[in-house]
Amino acid sequence: MSSYLLDYGFEQSSADSSLFTYFSSTGMLYFLLYVDDIVVTGSSNELLDKFVGQLNAEFCLTDLGEFYRCLVGALQYLSFTRPNIMYVVNQASQSMHTPTAAHMIAAKHILRYLAGSPTSGLHLFGYSSPTITAYSDSDWAGCPTTRRSTTRFCVFLASSFISWSSKKQPTVARSSSEAEYRALASTAAEVTGFQYLLRFLRIHLATTPVALCVNISETYLAHNPVLHSRTKHIAIDYYFMREKVVNGDLVV
């Protein structure tokens, strides 16, 4: 499939190997491939129909248009902007191959809930010159069992909330500064991925992305590109010294 798409004129994204894009004077196509599932869309119905026809002639495609599968598939995409239905949609999607009347009733319950709250959820807006702003935070040894810290971040494209995470860190941090710095590193990786993806989609950012944090030691570490191990202790010592000076416990 990848070889066929590349020969057709598609480009494969380096940020997401399952994403292919096609640009021409008549329009653009976006093609997502996951194992044997395909999602394709475009800016022109004529261009889209022509491509799908050629793709169907080359491969044996099946349009999963059965009503329950179509409904749950639509709910899965809706959960991107309605994260409060993610759990129930996940439960509904586990019976895609053998749905029963009970599963259909459960899916209708989700629809009734959505009908009663049409304005809830995340709102995405279009901007001619978008920017990326990220916010990073972490606790320190918040888990009473493993003493691991939790990384939390959120990413905005202009004023649209597009990505978020709250995940326990893989190892134990020895200080709050270390926990915060790991959270900032995860945030920077997420922002970098979005930069590659937007560049591949030919969307140009108006300004350099900004990552915001709340820890002074973390800020010092981020601004110093060398000797991080030594700088970490200096930053931590400076932080605690500053606190002692403020509290009047240290005379300099």
pLDDT class of 63 with cuts at 50, 70, 90 = low
pLDDT, one tens digit per residue, over 112-152 is 999 999 888 988 888 878 899 999 999 999 999 999 999 99
Please give the angle made by the CA atoms of 91, 93 and 99, to the nearest 5 degrees.
100
Residue 246 has pLDDT above 80, yes or no: no
Query: In the Cβ-directed half-sphere of 65, how many Cα atoms lie within 13 Å?
Result: 3
Contacts by 165-171, CB closer than 8 A, 24 or more apart? 165/190, 168/143, 169/138
pLDDT, one tens digit per residue, over 156-200 is 999 999 999 999 999 999 888 889 999 999 999 999 999 999 989
pLDDT, one tens digit per residue, over 35-56 is 777 889 999 899 999 998 999 8
- SS3 percent helix, strand, coil of the chain, rounded to 5, is 45, 20, 35
Share of the chain above pLDDT 70, in %: 87
DSSP state of 84: G
Check: CB of residue 176 under 8 Å from CB of residue 239.
no
Three-state DSSP at 85 gives: helix
Residue 26 has pLDDT above 80, yes or no: yes
Three-state DSSP at 75 gives: helix
Rg (CA), the chain: 24
Query: In the Cβ-directed half-sphere of 50, how many Cα atoms lie within 13 Å?
Result: 11
Residue 7 has pLDDT above 90, yes or no: yes
pLDDT attached to residue 248: 37
